[in-house]
Amino acid sequence: MLRKYNDDDYDILCQMLTVEGIGESEMRFDRYDTFIIEDKGFFTLRREHGCLSVQHFCVDRKYRSAKMARELIKAMVNKVREYGIKGLILHSKSNFVDTFIRHYFKAKPYAIDGVTAYYYVEV
């Protein structure tokens, strides 16, 4: 079940991102719209210049599977549609995530900056 972030989730989400190598200074889930699925994963959406971008997308390593990632993506796409926005900006620094974005959204990066690939996907 999808629910909105609350302050009690801070430690759990920090731990999930720390395991992925994301420093506390890069964690933004407490500043933007964050949604959690049963403490198994979460995503953070950021509005910027009239567009939505994904700030965080993380499945806890204990529950990591293609099925859980698809469930989280479906929840994220439904939430984006609730906002009334048809496009979403994604970025990736991982070949695994790139492969998942290319497969699920059938998208190619519109820009690559060093190790980061940027995608615009329609939902």
How high is the pLDDT of residue 29? 92
How high is the pLDDT of residue 121? 94
Q: 86 pLDDT exceeds 90?
A: no
End-to-end CA distance of the chain, in Å?
21
Question: What are the pLDDT digits (tens) for 12-58?
Answer: 999 999 998 899 889 989 999 999 998 899 999 999 887 899 999 99
**CA-wise closest residue to 82 among 52, 115, 112, 57:** 52
Provide, rounded to the nearest whole percent, the portion of the chain with pLDDT above 90: 71
Q: 80 pLDDT exceeds 90?
A: yes
The CATH number covering residue 67 comes to 3.40.630.30
What is the pTM assigned to this prediction?
0.90
Give the residues across from 33 on adjacent strands: 45
Band of pLDDT at residue 93, cut at 50, 70 and 90:
confident
Q: 99 pLDDT exceeds 90?
A: no
Mean pLDDT of the chain: 92
User: What's the total number of domains in the chain?
Assistant: 1
CA atoms within 13 A on the CB side of 38: 8
What range defines the domain where residue 95 resides? 2-122
